[in-house]
Structure 1
Amino acid sequence: MDHRPLGTTGYDVTEVGLGTWQIGGDWGDVSDDDGRDAVRAALDAGVDFLDTADVYGDGRSERLIADVLDERDARGDVTVATKAGRRLDPHEADGYDHGHLEAFVDRSRENLGVDSLDLLQLHCPPWPVYYRPETFDALDALCDAGKVDAYGVSVETVEQAFKATEFDGVETVQLIFNPFRQRPAERFFEVARERDVGVIVRVPLASGLLTGNVDADADFPENDHRNFNRHGEAFDVGETFAGVPLDAGAEAVEALRPAVPDDATMAGFTLRWILSFDAVSTVIPGSTSPEHIESNVAAADLPAPSEETHATVRRVYEAHVKEHVHQRW
């Protein structure tokens, strides 16, 4: 698997990383052993970029990652990105100050067992944070103190991505991008290249929709966000099925199937389509299945989609999905 530079952080990371929301919580019941096995499977497949957050299982995801990195003696070989801010209650812009951020950073450092975080990302902060220079001054101070090596922002909207990169210290942006959420390619990727900002793509498989294995009648456990956040009851609805109504998403998947090569899965096709955009630094599908993780990594070696395939993906998006998501995010 090839590596790509992660903006100006100095890290070169694998094209496919691992998102670890699943091993923390909100995806049904996952044991600690299954969580560790998922991280092990990613490392065995060659992944050297792991993405987590302090609220994934209240730090559980960070701690399980630390367990495996210690077990494998892989500290110097793997880049770990975490996030901070969503522990605030209430989750308001004023809380994104030096005191709170330093406390969150110190807790993540302890969970991960490190002196300094490789990459800290603000975790989808409220809009006013993007107009608070003091927040980004605090991040600079944490870097100067040796507690954070680099920082970025995880965003919900393209407009937030633009605003975040106006701050010189922001070296990465994490956002949702997939065949059902195409707006970043239209508006943000060129700016990311111009500003040399690393792009981390989350929710690449639209919460399982783009695996081709979720239909409109699918049932999910009570503690799975695909059940309890279907309409944005708990957090931004864009994080669940990429914001696409399940019925419309299932129809779009069926329309997309003819474009998938015979030797590829729907998930592999989707991940390779995402990686065909050179502004993307890494894509972070999440899974607790070692088999799915291995298959996701193998997608990086698939042939790049043709112009005709790109046109087909665009037609499906415009016919089935665009009206639901394009101007919202």
Structure 2
Amino acid sequence: MYRDHVPCNMDERALGTTGYDVTEVGMGTWNIGSDWGDVSDEAAHEAVRAAIDAGITFLDTADVYGDGRSERVIADVLAEYDPDERPTVATKAGRRLDPHDASGYTESNLREFVDRSRSNLDTDALDVLQLHCPPTDVYYQPETFDALDVLKAEGRIDHYGVSVERVEEGLKAIEYPGVETVQIIFNPFRQRPAELFFDEAARRDVGIIVRVPLASGLLTGNLSAETEFPENDHRNFNREGEAFDRGETFAGVPYERGLEAVDELRPLVPEDATMAQFSLRWILDHDAVSAVIPGSTDPKHVRENVIAASLPPLTTEETERVREVYEEYVADAVHQRW
């Protein structure tokens, strides 16, 4: 049932205090922009179409995904649909800085980035702008968040939030009253956010967007020690953090250790579901989560991701076993790092 049936309607959850209700399963579009091997224009457009046709009402992108390609693809596809049914689109800014230093997160630079994204997305105001995993020092710069308030007052952005690498950054970010969303890595191999951060975010009514939910493909169950990745795929060139934070690749889990952990999780996956669906359902079992944003360039996988919202919640025993696998195989590599 769950492999083949696409539900007509997904449940929606409030995205913090933004006023947007978004589908539990959204779509991340890093894959169609860059760093995941070559993706044709046709495949990129088809992936976004598949998401919208499957009922997804939340898309996440960034100005550096393919140097704006991801944003432009989204704009192209949305132009094909009724404007009244337009999904909520969140984008990110900051990583265009070179060097990527906290001192660059100024009002003038952010305005430039925002205006570029407004052009790419063909919109007057960005639904949600997120600082794109800025240096930790940015969270101790009130002037950066003052700048976001100015851009909001000017009508360039409707809401803003942050995308963080570490739990501590998320906790600091939500001290600023204007921060309405936090995007963070969370999955069966990165469980620390559920310990304190989720409670604090819920207490402040901050929306939680979960990225890297499938640990760069590890939690699809389709990778092996023999899998080869293209030269321009971050799973080939960023395993030790050579290009950006190591936690973005396989969620920071050493590849071979991750494969062992996946094998331990396989018996928990229902016969009529995939491991990817099981992993997404585990994430959605956490009420603090507003949306999870798996990315894919395969329309079939996009549709399968949506189906995860229809799976029943994990049992107590299954949840406990996921925690045991985490503690035995990956916690020592990731828990205190992020």
Tell me if both proteins adopt one fold, taking TM over 0.5 as the criterion. yes
Which residue is 2:206 aligned to? 197
In structure 2, distance between residues paired with 1:73 and 1:28: 32
User: Mapping of 1:48-197 within 5 angstroms?
Assistant: 48-74=57-83, 76-197=85-206
RMSD: 0.7
Return the letter of the residue paired with 1:121: Q
The answer (yes or no) to whether the contact 2:167–2:197 under 8 Å persists in 1 is yes
- CA deviation map 1:63-119 (0-9, x unaligned): 000000001234653100000000000000000000000000000000000000000
Q: Report whether the alignment pairs 1:308 with 2:317.
A: yes
Q: Deviations over 1:31-74 (max 9, x none)?
A: 11100000000001000100000000000000000000001234
Q: What corresponds to 2:38 in structure 1? A: 29
Corresponding letter in the other structure for 2:226: D
1:297 lines up with 2:306 in the alignment: yes
- Off by >6 Å, runs of 4+ in structure 1: none
Match of 2:22 among 7, 13, 24: 13
Please tell me whether the aligned partners of residues 35 and 233 of structure 2 are also in contact (alpha carbons under 8 angstroms): yes
1:166-211 deviations in whole A, cap 9, x for unaligned? 0000000000000000000112110011000000000000000000
Q: How does 1:205-220 map to 2 (within 5 A)?
A: 205-220=214-229
Secondary structure class of the residue paired with 1:214: coil
How many residue pairs match? The answer is: 329
Partners of 1:246 and 1:214 in 2: how far apart? 10
Residue 230 (structure 1) shift: 1.0
Tell me by how many angstroms 1:263 deviates: 1.3
Per-residue CA deviation, residues 127-161 of structure 1 (Å, 9 max, x unaligned), is 11000000000000000000000000000000000
**Distance in 2, Cα, partners of 1:81 & 1:249:** 30
Identity %: 70
| Contact in 2 for aligned 1:69/1:75 (Cα 8 Å) | no
The CA deviation string for residues 237-265 of structure 1, in whole angstroms up to 9 with x for no partner, is 00000000000000000001111111110
- Tell me, yes or no, if structure 1 residue 249 matches structure 2 residue 248: no
Q: Deviations over 1:222-242 (max 9, x none)?
A: 000000101100000000000
- Aligned partners of 2:261 and 2:226: how far apart in 1? 15
SS at structure 1 position matched to 2:228? coil
Contact 2:78 2:86 in 1 (8 A): no
CA distance in 2, matches of 1:2, 1:272: 13
TM-score, reference length from structure 2: 0.97
Unaligned 5+ runs, structure 2? 1-9
Question: Using the alignment, how far apart are the partners of 1:257 and 1:38 within structure 2?
Answer: 27
Q: Are the aligned partners of 2:118 and 2:125 in contact in 1 as well (CA < 8 Å)?
A: yes
Q: What is the identity, as a one-letter code, of the residue corresponding to 1:86?
A: R
CA distance in 2, matches of 1:77, 1:107: 20
2:278 counterpart of 1:269? yes
| Preserved CA contact (<8 Å) 1:178 1:204 | yes
- Aligned residue type for 1:238: G
CA distance, structure 1, for counterparts of residue 290 and residue 202 of structure 2: 10
Q: Secondary structure at the match of 2:147?
A: helix
Q: Which residue of 2 aligns with 1:259?
A: 268
Report matched runs for 1:30-49 at 5 Å. 30-49=39-58
Deviating more after overlay: 68-77 vs 10-19: 68-77
User: Structure 1: 5+ residue runs without aligned partners?
Assistant: none
Q: Letter of the aligned partner of 2:270 in structure 1?
A: P
CA distance in structure 2 between the aligned counterparts of 1:217 and 1:241, rounded to whole angstroms = 16
Q: CA deviation at 1:217?
A: 2.8
SS in 2 for 1:152: strand
